[in-house]
Amino acid sequence: METKIVKLGINGEGIGYVQKKPVFIPGALPEEVVEFRIVNKQPRYLEGKLERVKKKSPYRIRPVCPHQGRCDGCPLMVLNESEQRKLKQENFVQTMQKYANISEKVMEPMIDNPNPFAYRNQCKLPVVMEKGKIVNAMYMQNSNFTVPIRTCYVQEVGLEKMRQAILDVLNAYHLSAYDHAKKKGIRYLVIRGLDDQYQCTLVTGEDYFPESLSEDLMKIKGLKSLYQSIQTTKNTPNIFGKKMIHLAGAKTIEFHLDDIVMRLSVQSFFQLNTKQAKTMYRLVKEMVPMNCDWILEGYSGIGGISLYLKDHAKEITGVEYIESAVRNANENAKRNHADHVHFVAGDAAEVMTRMLKKRTPDVIIVDPPRAGLDDAMMETLLRSKAKQIIYISCNPSTLAKNLAVLQDRYLVKRMVLLDMFSQTQHVESITLLIKKK
Ligand code: SAH
């Protein structure tokens, strides 16, 4: 079959139409005429597999990565970067207009990613066997199957070197990839690197490793912290298991963001693009007035945003449900001499609802996961008397849905888009909302 691609879908696929029904075709780009085969027929849409590009997009480029097209990681790598940003911005504008009726006038052009490649400071990659050795893999598009990868071009160069060095040591010990039947072997390699200090977690079955393995791994230059996490649950979205063992080195790694010094532990979330995280924090700082009494931040992770704002308020409170992240955040406040900044563990909606009943902050900041704000949080924000809300989002669909409701009481004043995840379909944004009179 043949179709003309008219639009980029939210998962980075091309969208065409066949007898008025949308067909989603991964790998096809807007403006292209493509031949495809139907692989999934649904009442309201079709899914196609790209067979041949008959008319190429002028923006199509040859991808640098040999795994592109099979690996699920970077669907937009076949598109030149300025066109990636243009299409992501257009999709963002359309989503905001369609679902929340927000004027394009408040939306600013997407800020470039200074490193469109080699920007990720962390990896969580499955481990598979290839020719008797363990290698990393990535999931294939829409499936649980994996494709072995050599180099990942969106990961920082130092991270890639560290990953290879770790694999070399694991292979010198003739270790194997995870075997569900035996509950033994290496399942994932999780590595994070900030300021050239690396933390590695081997996610494994019920394996005991010789002391010398940890010693040999810790000889790798830059590796500062080593953990093992035992995860034997089948088909779980959680990479880490409940049992986390500190094998060697420091428990946390330390890094700097502008003039803030931070530490984080294995289970804590941190932004995966360090440079763009700083850009984002600086933008939030620019949006928040000086001389506030109280700022309340939900989904605060290890506390970066609140600490950037430390000179803007007499008191700042962050709420986060991962306890180790809350511990990191409170220690980070001390480390930065911010005794007026505190972090509390718990569900953001629950804790913030309770707090807001007693007291009104000048500014509320939220940075929820992809699912966006839940009903309880929406209810609380709608009732709040805060003059200003800043909503940081990594998912335009849930953002638009939430803003459509928040606009009852708050005016969308400014939206800044950030290219944080180049080569992928993801869009990060910061929305400034002002309380209506
Ligand atoms: N603003 C932070 C982290 C944002 S990511 C930063 O810049 O680093 C979202 C965070 O929300 C994660 O740390 C996650 O653990 C936390 N989280 C997810 N659901 C939550 C909930 N219901 N209540 C509180 N925190 C939650």
Model confidence over 241-293: pLDDT tens digits? 999 999 999 999 999 999 999 999 999 999 999 999 999 999 999 999 999 99
CB atoms within 10 A of CB 385: 10
- Write down the pLDDT at residue 286: 97
CA neighbor of 333 nearest in space, from 355, 310, 359: 310
- Write down the pLDDT at residue 144: 80
Mean pLDDT (whole number) for 162-191: 97
Q: Which atom of ligand 1 is nearest to the CA of 268?
A: 13
What percent of the chain is modeled with pLDDT above 70? Answer: 100
pLDDT at position 200 over 80: yes
Model confidence over 315-333: pLDDT tens digits? 999 999 999 999 999 999 9
Ligand 1: residue of 278, 319, 320 to mutate (most ligand atoms within 8 A of CB) is 320
89: left (phi over 0), alpha (psi -120 to 50) or beta: alpha
DSSP 130-156: ETTEEEEEEEBTTSS-EEE-S--TTB-
SS3 label, residue 27: coil
Q: Identify the residue whose tokens are 């939306």.
A: 107
Residue nearest to atom 21 of ligand 1 (CA): 347
Token code pair at residue 210: 């010789």
User: Rounded to whole angstroms, how far apart are CA atoms 105 and 29?
Assistant: 27
User: Rounded to whole angstroms, how far apart are CA atoms 86 and 75?
Assistant: 15
Give yes or no for residue 121 CB within 6 A of ligand 1: no
Distance from the alpha carbon of residue 340 to the mean position of ligand 1, in angstroms: 21
The amino acid occupying position 364 is I
Mean pLDDT (whole number) for 42-64: 96
Mean pLDDT (whole number) for 6-16: 94
DSSP code of residue 59:
T
* H or E element that contains 329: helix 323-335
Residue nearest to atom 13 of ligand 1 (CA): 301
- Write down the pLDDT at residue 69: 85
Confidence bin at 141 (pLDDT 50/70/90): confident
Confidence bin at 90 (pLDDT 50/70/90): very high
The amino acid occupying position 402 is N
Distance from the alpha carbon of residue 167 to the mean position of ligand 1, in angstroms: 31
Token code pair at residue 21: 């029904």
Q: Which atom of ligand 1 is nearest to the CA of 269?
A: 13
Distance from the alpha carbon of residue 17 to the mean position of ligand 1, in angstroms: 38
Distances (CA, A) of 236 to 144, 240, 241, 307: 12, 10, 10, 34
Mean pLDDT (whole number) for 12-20: 94
Cα 345 from chain centre? 21
Give yes or no for residue 114 CB within 6 A of ligand 1: no
Model confidence over 201-253: pLDDT tens digits? 999 999 999 999 999 999 999 999 999 999 999 989 999 999 999 999 999 99
Token code pair at residue 375: 């009903």
Distance from the alpha carbon of residue 303 to the mean position of ligand 1, in angstroms: 10
- Write down the pLDDT at residue 29: 96
Confidence bin at 140 (pLDDT 50/70/90): confident
Q: Which atom of ligand 1 is nearest to the CA of 270?
A: 8
- Write down the pLDDT at residue 296: 98
The amino acid occupying position 289 is P
Confidence bin at 72 (pLDDT 50/70/90): confident
SS3 label, residue 70: coil
Token code pair at residue 296: 């309340």
Q: Is 394 a catalytic residue?
A: yes
Quote the mean pLDDT of the chain.
96
